[in-house]
Structure 1
């Protein structure tokens, strides 16, 4: 834990830390609607990770003091580096066998097609703003989380400010999977575009497998922070 003399700071993740980061993500996203949807999870969450343990670019917070501890992380895709669903070659390079094994063909299909919806919404948002750039010119937040043991300590604020400082004057885009995350990003200056409902007829509002009236689907909030 950080103390008065050792404040939390931000640094790039190390290759040897990927297992620790994956475990932190597992704890943080164990009940997240998006990963429940991808993994076709039933109402009682499986204790195994709901997503493949293969993070790539990461920026964890690292509280200092004795043994260094990872408190949170963000994965930002720079402009023109986001993997598009239409780029089959790039998708194959990301390693689809692990998601296929964990989620099955149906889950992998959901994972591959979900970005199509967000891309459409983002394009509408940029057009409505009369922006001179496209979503591909913006930074895209692929994944962000705080270790559940360290929530409420300002780590997400620290990471977000670091991202803004790294690319001043840039446009940033995110997708909140819950109303809580949507409100958190709004606090950082992100504005809503148009909510998208995923999984209607298949999952409930928590992303768990459901049928009938309970299968309302869940809402994802696309947001943009303009310059």
Structure 2
């Protein structure tokens, strides 16, 4: 459930969770950008030539910021449920709330599709296309998105979920923790809050690193189904490569069902 700051002085300094609003967009984007600076999927769709360094790779970082701006604004436009963690100890009346983590959940039957032209234009896809070009678009839509959807359908079949499709699930489009706050269990709090919000829901995601795959497994996500793309184009970090180094990127589709009886729903 969404929480509010507690009453005692000590508890008032502890991070708490709330729903995000469009006014939080810039802070969300900034925190997510720093959290995903080395993410293999974002590296690959952005067609990066090296691992990015904030303050050094200015142009490439600006492109990535534009992508996150688009992704989260699009989420707000299609009715995503976006939750954030706030650090009250770093918040004030001048700068506002300090956002240290967040999750973007797309509700059942609510997805962003390439044919939703007015929505994606309003969300800011044009600046992304100008920076990443056709290569970025093709990698997002036809390599990552299409491949992930296919694997998720396979996962549902293997799980025995016969009367629902992946579109009937809550989909974790993105979850992030500011690097300064990683390792404090904030991701788990965000995910568990979503479970509480929709106790009968099915939840799906793609884990983009072995570490996150194992973390999601601990939270109850099952059947990690490998998804591979970019072979011959990028290394395992998502950085452009050729020859033997171009092994491609591997991620994992995962799902969590509420109860065994729901597998037949």
TM over 0.5: yes
Partner secondary structure for residue 11 of structure 1: strand
Give 1:112's aligned residue.
141
Partner secondary structure for residue 235 of structure 2: coil
Partner secondary structure for residue 236 of structure 2: coil
How large is the Cα RMSD of the aligned pairs?
1.8
Structure with bigger helix share is 2
Shifted more, 15-24 versus 205-214: the winner is 15-24
Q: Distance in 2 between matches of 1:61 and 1:169?
A: 24
| C-alpha contact 1:122 1:193 (8 A) present in aligned 2 | no
Which of 239, 262, 265 does residue 208 from structure 1 map onto?
239
The alpha carbon displacement at 1:36 in A equals 0.5
Give 2:83's aligned residue.
59
Larger gyration radius, structure 1 or structure 2 = 2
Give 2:3's aligned residue.
none
Give 2:165's aligned residue.
134
Which of 212, 228, 249 does residue 181 from structure 1 map onto?
212
Shifted more, 126-135 versus 73-82: the winner is 126-135
| C-alpha contact 2:213 2:224 (8 A) present in aligned 1 | no
Residues 92-171 of structure 1: matches in 2 within 5 Å? Answer: 92-95=118-121, 96-113=125-142, 114-131=144-161, 132-171=163-202
The alpha carbon displacement at 1:63 in A equals 2.0
Q: Distance in 1 between matches of 2:148 and 2:118?
A: 21
Partner secondary structure for residue 159 of structure 1: helix
The alpha carbon displacement at 1:193 in A equals 3.8
Residues 38-77 of structure 1: matches in 2 within 5 Å? Answer: 38-45=45-52, 46-47=57-58, 48-49=61-62, 50-51=64-65, 52=67, 53-54=69-70, 55-56=72-73, 57=76, 58-65=82-89, 66-67=91-92, 68-77=97-106
Give 1:191's aligned residue.
222
Q: Distance in 2 between matches of 1:72 and 1:138?
A: 22
The alpha carbon displacement at 1:92 in A equals 4.9
| Structure 2 unmatched ranges of 5 or more | 1-5, 77-81, 259-265
| Structure 1 unmatched ranges of 5 or more | none
Decide whether aligned partners of structure 1 residues 98 and 192 sit closer, same or farther in structure 2, where only a CA change above 3 A counts. farther
